[in-house]
Amino acid sequence: MMTTRPHGLLLALALCALLGACAGDPAVAAGQSGSPAADDYTLVGPASYLTGYPAVNADGTVNVVVEIPAGSNQKWEVDKADGALRWELRAGRPRVVAYLGYPGNYGMVPRTLLPSEGGGDGDPLDVLVIGAPAGRGEVLRCRVIGVLGLFDGGETDDKLLAVAEGNAFSDLADLAELERRFPGVREIVETWFVNYKGPGELRSGGWRGAEAAQAVLEAAVEAFGEGPAGA
């Protein structure tokens, strides 16, 4: 009898889940959004998503605003002008990523900044939270376990990798444990980010562990406090 290796099975299940989820943006369709809709392209939270929440909570967890639920390919982002969550427009049309849906809940850490003068993209720090889809606009309390170094043109565009409560990944301590218990996840995430904008658009600098991720977070928090947006 033919058997399927765990790595291959995981990859197959992940790709099937992403393909199935891309079409319908299930978290939004099911009414799971964490915020009231101002219109079809805007979500307004109870507080500014940019400044209304601390980056780090008293218990050491990190707040992550979910901009794009796992499996979705609708490109929403927090507007730095007013802290609302908006569907990005490109050439006057709502942007939909022409690739598989996001392999986790993608979002940003409030009150952070990757400053352009330091080689960053001038935006808040990005995070991918692995696990089941959350609602767009939810603010998740997460633990950071690693960081994927990415370069978009000449800009640094690091992506923190995090886990939240309530799923199979919740108790992971670091990337080594992720690889041991869920082989292939790191490769799936890295492959997705390197390719979702098209061939040659992004370059990977590889994975670094929880300590390096914490350093990236602390630098982004400090940069926000020193920049115009944090004044």
Q: What is the pLDDT of residues 196-211, one digit of tens each?
A: 999 999 999 999 999 9
For residues 69 and 25, the model is more confident at: 69
CB atoms within 10 A of CB 95: 15
Span 149-164, mean pLDDT?
92
- pLDDT interval class at 160 (50, 70, 90): very high
- Which of 144, 156, 123 lies closest to 209 in space, CA to CA? 144
- Residues 25 and 71: their CA atoms lie apart, in Å, by 7
pLDDT tens, 58-101?
A: 999 999 999 999 999 999 999 999 999 999 999 999 999 999 99
Between the CA atoms of 80, 84, 87 and 93, what dihedral angle is there, to the nearest 10 degrees? -70
Span 177-183, mean pLDDT?
98
Give the pLDDT of residue 117.
Answer: 67
Is the per-residue pLDDT at 31 higher than 70?
Answer: no
Kindly list the structural domains of the chain, giving each domain's residue range(s) and its CATH number in brackets, ordered by start: 6-230 (3.90.80.10)
Would you say how long the chain is, in residues? 231
CB atoms within 10 A of CB 22: 19
- pLDDT interval class at 19 (50, 70, 90): very low
If you average pLDDT over each of 37-46, 115-124, 205-214, which comes out highest?
A: 205-214
Is the per-residue pLDDT at 30 higher than 60?
Answer: no
Is the per-residue pLDDT at 114 higher than 90?
Answer: no
What is residue 151's DSSP assignment? E
